[in-house]
A and B are shown apart, each in its own frame.
Chain A
Amino acid sequence: MNALTMPRVLGAALVTAVVVVILSIQLNTFRDYQIAEIAIEVTAVAGLTVLTGLSGQISLGNGAFMAIGAYATALLTLHLGWPFYVVLVAAAVVTAAAGAVVGVAAARLRGPYLAGATLLLGVALPSLAEAYPGVFGGDQGLDVNFTTPAFLGVNFPLTRWQAWVCSAVALVTLVLLANLGRSRVGRSWRAVRDDEVAAALAGVNVARARILAFVVSATCAGMAGALLAIVTGLVAPGAFTITLSIALLTAAVIGGLGTLPGALWGSLVIILVPTYATDVATSHGLSSSVASNIPVAAYGAVLILVMLVFPQGIQGAVRWAAGLVGITSARTGRPASAPEGDELPPSRHQVLLTPGGDPPDPHEKEDTQ
């Protein structure tokens, strides 16, 4: 299960970075914008997949943390004029603090109660912006000024630079999260997720582990919010609806909960399926109300189908396909979500326990029974 070793993670990140750079140069402005969108989504979803998949806490309110990050970015840029890199760090710190507060409150809640509380957080927080228009600009929101740095020259397209910045942040986040997931912290999260009592008996501070997961998740969402602010150039409450928070969880589960590659697959689905369906609908000359709603309906249908056909999400399907062609080392991430008997090729463990399988070595048989 040591598939996510550091060199491998760094290698994958480097390859992805090169692919992103090539794509962003080859493709047009709109696609560059989409790359940035996907990178933002990946940053937020990766944080959520760690929270829900590894520490076992559901959040339907990570959109609220994105809002905090975005407003922090807008306010700091507007009033203090700090450069973006400083603002990004500051936004991360602010949302980490917010995550700690929410995490403390959430540490006592379970399942649907946590879902309800976080959902309401996601709905309630953006309404602050409307309630205090003097500070937050109300419905109109706040403008965020973001330009390409001078060393790239005046002709460098802004969207390409945005795609680069967002992808860089997303990749660094993924590498850090992969490392964290393999560390002592990640193990304590899994222990808490699988059995709190056993984890506590084994010396894990359950409350601290759960709160820390919220902090990490909120920080990722906050950075995603900061990126969203510079890409859209505007921070307004309309961007942080309940739909956003739900889309984050959807992407995490569709991609394969608890797996970082899954965060990428899920984000691709969330961003690309609606756009693709819109293209198809408009190219068939449908009336505007039909054309604008077909993508919505299709997206809903895709969610249902993926969940029914690939219960472990897309990453589960990728592993299954990898298993078919014999790339066993492609197994990554979370052992507990791994292969169910009828879906995936039997692991060594299952073969040992299956009657009629290869006669196991008596030594091993003793171990497994």
Chain B
Amino acid sequence: MVEFLQFTLSGLSFGMIYAAIALSLVLIWRGTRLLNFAQGGMAMFTTYIAIEVIHGTGSYWAGFVVALAAGVVLGAVAELAVIRPSLGKPELNAVIITIGLLILIEGLAGIFYGGQYRSFPAAFSVIGLKVGSTPLGISRFDLFVAAAVLATTLLLALGFRYTSAGLRMRAAAFNATIARLSGIRVARVVTVGWALAGLLGALAGVLVSPSTFLYPNSMDSIFVFGFTAAVIGGLDSPAGAVVGGLLLGLALSYAGGYLGSQGSNLTPLVALGILVVVLMLRPDGIFSGTRVRRV
């Protein structure tokens, strides 16, 4: 029972990070109907920027803020520089461009920062919390991870719901043509969507790196699981991204915990199993609306 609680809590904590990546993918998908394969790479790069700032200033929070700001800038620049010129061309072109961007960013990270594994500091203690003498399987930092992702998600949700900028973004995602006819600058809205996605990715990068180390490919597997979470939840649904992330985090945590020594090797297979089951039941994710397909 105690074990179960531990696996649950640590699963939720890691699930939050998958949720952040999934959410960033959903933001971009809703705006541009495009999967951004560079999301993990961008997060990796902003985390390197954070580590430089932390070493330079000695302040974790300075690095944290700079990373998020860099994420916003990187997201917007990527959209303006390489994604916008690819619009109107075959759909897969933009996907390959994001793959090119990922490879470019990973190469640049290798050139600037080298390929060796670097440790990344955590904001709070990573020593496991206990209730009485029972270890909970999570630390103060894990609580911070969960709180940070939840807070950001809530802020975004409130922003979408109650601000006029949020209304414009929802309108543009709902139907770009009608939004444009209503006087919304859809192109600008899309750029803002990429910037927000960059912020979420940067957040995920800073939050996950204390437990994974930082190297040019460090975000690859996080991206794959974040993508999986987004697909499980339904790419059109921000709520689905969060639920998908938590579900995947839990499942992988239980798999790693209960499957013994082979657990860590089998986690991708467990994730695949969950994905297949979910997609067989709901081919467009758990939170898919009525099925609309272009005829």
| Residues in A lying within 8 Å of B, measured CB to CB | 52, 58, 105, 108-110, 112-113, 115-117, 119-121, 123-125, 127-128, 130-131, 195, 197, 242, 246, 249-250, 253-254, 257, 289-290, 292-304, 307-308, 311-312, 337
Contact = CB atoms under 8 A, between A and B. Distances in A.
B108 interface: yes
B152 interface: no
Contact of B99 (A121, A123, A127, A303): A303
A113 B279 contact: yes
A304 B101 contact: yes
Contacts, number: 152
Given A116-B231, A123-B268, A300 B285 contact: no
Contacts of A130: 265
B96 A123 contact: no
30 contacts: A108-B279, A112-B29, A112-B35, A113-B284, A117-B231, A120-B271, A120-B275, A123-B221, A127-B269, A128-B269, A131-B266, A197-B295, A249-B96, A250-B99, A253-B92, A257-B90, A289-B110, A289-B111, A290-B111, A292-B110, A297-B104, A298-B107, A300-B103, A303-B97, A304-B82, A304-B97, A304-B100, A307-B96, A308-B97, A311-B90
B111 A117 contact: no
Contacts of B221: 123
Please give me the 4 A-B residue pairs with the lowest Cβ-Cβ distance, nearest first: A297-B107, A300-B104, A303-B100, A293-B110
A300 B276 CA distance: 31
B230 interface: yes
B18 interface: no
B29 A117 contact: no
Contacts of B280: 105, 108
Given A242-B224, A289-B115, 10 more contacts: A110-B293, A112-B29, A112-B35, A117-B276, A119-B224, A123-B224, A250-B99, A289-B114, A296-B107, A304-B82
Nearest to B34: A112
Name which of A52, A116, A312 has the most chain B CB atoms within 10 A of its CB: A116
Contacts of A303: 96-97, 99-100, 103-104
B86 interface: yes
B258 to A, nearest CB: 15
B10 interface: no
A308 B174 CA distance: 27
Contact of B276 (A105, A254, A302): A105
A131 B272 CA distance: 15
B95 to A, nearest CB: 8
Give the bracket for the number of chain B residues in contact with chain A.
Answer: 35 or more
B103 A296 contact: yes
Contacts of A124: 268-269, 271-272
A117 B275 contact: yes
Select the residue from A123, A290, A299 with max chain B CB neighbours within 10 A. Answer: A123
A308 B86 contact: yes
A294 B111 contact: yes
B272 A120 contact: yes
A296 B115 CA distance: 12
B74 interface: no
Contact of B90 (A123, A308, A337): A337
B104 A304 contact: yes
Contacts of A304: 82, 97, 100-101, 104
A200 B96 CA distance: 31
A178 to B, nearest CB: 22
B224 A246 contact: no
Contacts of B29: 112
Contacts of A131: 262, 265-266, 269
Contacts of B228: 116, 120
Interface string B16-41: 00000000000001000001010000
Contacts of A115: 35
Centre residue among A112, A254, A295 by max chain B CB count within 10 A: A112
Contact of B283 (A110, A249, A257): A110
Interface string B267-295: 11101100110011001110000000101
B24 to A, nearest CB: 14
Contacts of A296: 103-104, 106-107, 110
